[in-house]
Chain A
């Protein structure tokens, strides 16, 4: 018992350490990659390849004045950024990084992930509301509607995988992909899940709660210093979480040819999806808020239902010959 507690503590510590570093590193990765695609240099002065910009950014955020607008609801204003960080980090609890490297191998893993990502919407709503700023309020309203709607398609898209494997446990789902990664039988589900994932993390083209050309910075207009930093890190962790889930559910998790350890395979795949997120940001304009909702309810919802029905029918036929 003693040993297993320390084992878990090690995993939790390791995962937390890795994640926070990855999220911070992603700031650099994103800026460099955007720069690469946009014919410019990006941060390249501090340290080798500009890597220390992460350190500089973090230090800057720590030393900035921790300002709370006088008309804001102080308690909620402070809690909101913490919520996003906590819920996203909790979402990682169920992600199996490699065989045995998972914080809690829950048998309701998928449901836990969905619950945590839904909770993330609170941080946007509360943050936008507590700021007492019209831009923040508009951003928060948009964000709430967007996240709650896309939650639905995300959940429905996942159900295809659940039907195929008969479990909510993520490790079992990965093991079930030994012969065939699920993105082949569940291509539609994968696409919908990915799109909903972009909307969940409110990244371009679905960065409507922020949409800096209209709403300045949307729900976090009033945030500065480390509170802003938490939203910032939360966003990158969100990207990582969605990428992890895509890889786990549709791209065989840690599975891969034997010449690399499972953890490496997982990391490589996740990094590929993170890059896709960044490339999306570099290339697409943003739709209007009502267009986004229409797209969700009129296209993604029927599609994810069709996907679910077809999968269910196939599973049914295979089980009863």
Chain B
């Protein structure tokens, strides 16, 4: 690509020809290996100095390369690799920078001084790989319990409980675990008292009605004013990324459903777009439109849950009941088409599970007729309510620059007035053919975030209507050898085709070696699967970039100075899902 060439030329003219090693990837993102010594300088140049800079640290992850099958790969030989994904809004371009590390427990300089949101990403890498970041202000475990032994995403760490020996909790261990649970404010750089007051430390969670799941937020309070907040995450960590290394490419799909558990098949899409890039599958038009339609249904369902619970967080008891019954209507359609409801697990490599059922048009049309009236009613019930406004207007404000610095995406970013929707700017799955608007806010407060999401539901309806009117005819699976499950008509020709079919069903497809990243506008923001294949029946590494993770990381920054009641407004308006944070 031209833009990649230009960018590479810019970087090479600044840092010299020999500094970078270029790697070609399936997703056509410029991928460069850079030396660890110059890493910080290069990243700073990309963030601050280059014309049309890359201000957004999109993702930061690591790979354990020690057991990678290199026969099929043309990548430099390293023990561990750190991967930086940067994004430039001005260029609409990603860049992937890699650092190779050697040794059992290597270390490299931290970039927390450069990007605020690098903090949690680096802690996550430390937690899961044991790689140390020098100069990190608080390098400690983030997803795993503090007392965990080993680093789970290293290849030598077992993936199943059965490989780890029976669990025993003897007395000393119990004492150690209990000791680790104690909260010591000093460890977080928080004082117990100031000159004129003693601070109160209040545990919000892990069991609390306002956190929407197992999340713990430790508040440092002066009266009811929040001095500081520490979110503690990881209670919902299920090792989704580790499971990706164990499951076949096909059998991993149900796991993705449960990452953003309100997003349903939209997670499938993010995963499959990356798999299909790796496999080189071009899906038929009908598949694209079906996928878009189901994704938009799930966007509405997810936003409805957010809408109702947000109102409930502010003390309004009734809307959540109305909105859940509307969500039920969405699920009626989803169930008729997919069979499942919250986690239909319905998209497949190269297509979808089944064709649309007979009479689906009536169902979809029924919902399109029903829902706009309800939305209007909710406007007067919730959005126009003056008490609702009093609780949300001017609360939890951040600017577009701060949002980008902290890696905020989705409706939260658009509420700051930033007109950016990956469906529009980097269309996937045929979104470029749809006619819809990207709603934006102005003030970046909780109220604008609510407005944007409500407007998005209306746009989703428009998209669904266009799907209904223009559903193309054709197959619901790509005619490709790697389509899973394999297409039946190719079997029963001779023994060879039968064997191929049998293997593709029992072992699953072998996806060609390479790496690819997808990027979709999920219900909560930008969601990506960065897949590395070394030519096997399962992924070598699955990296899931979720929107809620950086959103939650920003919480202390935006809650300081507000009260406990405002914290609930901010949490509610953020629209996060714990599984999406912890994976």
Contacts and interface: CB of A to CB of B under 8 A. Distances in A.
B108 interface: no
Interface in B273-315: 311-315
Interface string A198-237: 0000001101000111111000000000000000000000
B391 interface: yes
B316 A285 contact: yes
Contacts of A64: none
Interface in B303-349: 311-318, 321-322, 325
Contacts of B563: 288-290
B314 A39 contact: no
A283 interface: yes
Contacts of B314: 213, 285-286
Contact of B209 (A205, A213, A285, A287): A213
Contact of A284 (B224, B316, B321, B565): B316
B385 interface: yes
Interface string B192-203: 000000001011
Contacts of A44: none
Contact of B315 (A38, A138, A213, A290): A213
A289 B563 CA distance: 9
A34 interface: yes
A276 to B, nearest CB: 15
Interface string A11-40: 000000000000000000000001001111
B387 A37 contact: no
A282 B210 CA distance: 19
A278 to B, nearest CB: 11
Contacts of A282: 317-318
Given A38-B318, A39-B322, A281-B317, A214 B391 contact: no
B204 to A, nearest CB: 8
B318 A37 contact: yes
Given A211-B315, A290-B563, A40 B387 contact: no
Nearest to B565: A288
Contact of B202 (A134, A204, A205, A213): A134
Residue of A212, A285, A286, A290 ringed by the most chain B CB atoms within 10 A: A285
B317 to A, nearest CB: 6
B317 A287 contact: no
B215 to A, nearest CB: 14
A123 B291 CA distance: 58
B387 A287 contact: yes
A291 interface: yes
Interface in B154-178: none
Given A38-B322, A213-B210, A134 B200 contact: yes
Interface in B552-569: 563-568
A201 to B, nearest CB: 15
A205 B317 CA distance: 10
B208 A216 contact: yes
B115 interface: no
Contacts of B568: 213-214
Interface string A176-208: 000000000000000000000000000011010
Contacts of A134: 200, 202-203
B306 to A, nearest CB: 15
Interface residues of B, number: 30
A94 to B, nearest CB: 33
B321 A214 contact: no
A285 B315 contact: yes
Contact of B317 (A38, A214, A290): A38
A285 B388 contact: yes
B390 interface: yes
A214 B325 contact: no
B466 to A, nearest CB: 31
Contacts of B317: 34, 38, 204, 281-282
A242 to B, nearest CB: 20
A287 B390 contact: yes
Nearest to B567: A214
A205 B203 CA distance: 25
Contacts of A213: 209-210, 312-315, 568
A214 B387 contact: no
B246 to A, nearest CB: 39
B383 to A, nearest CB: 11
Nearest to B321: A38
A285 B391 contact: yes
Contacts of A38: 317-318, 321-322
B171 to A, nearest CB: 22
A296 to B, nearest CB: 14
Contacts of A286: 314-316, 387, 391
Nearest to B309: A213
A139 to B, nearest CB: 11
Contact of B391 (A37, A281, A288): A288
Residue of A37, A207, A282, A284 ringed by the most chain B CB atoms within 10 A: A284
Contact of B321 (A40, A135, A207): A40
A205 B391 CA distance: 12
Given A38-B322, A214-B210, A204 B390 contact: no
B387 A285 contact: yes
B136 to A, nearest CB: 31
Residue of B202, B325, B565 ringed by the most chain A CB atoms within 10 A: B565
A106 B379 CA distance: 50
Nearest to A283: B318
B322 A207 contact: no
Interface string B385-412: 1011011000000000000000000000
B379 to A, nearest CB: 15
Nearest to A135: B202
Contacts of B224: 138, 289
Contacts of A212: 209
A131 B568 CA distance: 24
Contact of A288 (B202, B316, B390): B390
A38 B322 CA distance: 7
A281 B390 CA distance: 18
B387 A211 contact: no
Contacts of B318: 34, 37-38, 282-283
Contacts of A207: 315
A157 B321 CA distance: 37
Contacts of A291: 390-391
Contacts of A287: 387, 390-391
Residue of A204, A213, A284, A289 ringed by the most chain B CB atoms within 10 A: A213
Residue of A40, A214, A216, A282 ringed by the most chain B CB atoms within 10 A: A214
A25 to B, nearest CB: 21
Contacts of A204: 315, 317
A137 to B, nearest CB: 8
Residue of A38, A207, A288 ringed by the most chain B CB atoms within 10 A: A288
Nearest to A286: B315
Nearest to A210: B315
A136 to B, nearest CB: 12
Contacts of B202: 134-135, 138
7 contacts: A38-B322, A214-B210, A282-B317, A285-B315, A285-B387, A286-B391, A287-B391
A-B pairs with the 7 shortest C-beta distances?
A286-B315, A285-B316, A38-B321, A285-B314, A285-B315, A288-B565, A213-B210
Given A39-B321, A213-B210, 17 more contacts: A138-B224, A205-B387, A211-B565, A212-B209, A213-B209, A213-B313, A216-B208, A216-B209, A282-B317, A282-B318, A284-B316, A285-B311, A285-B314, A285-B391, A286-B391, A288-B390, A291-B391
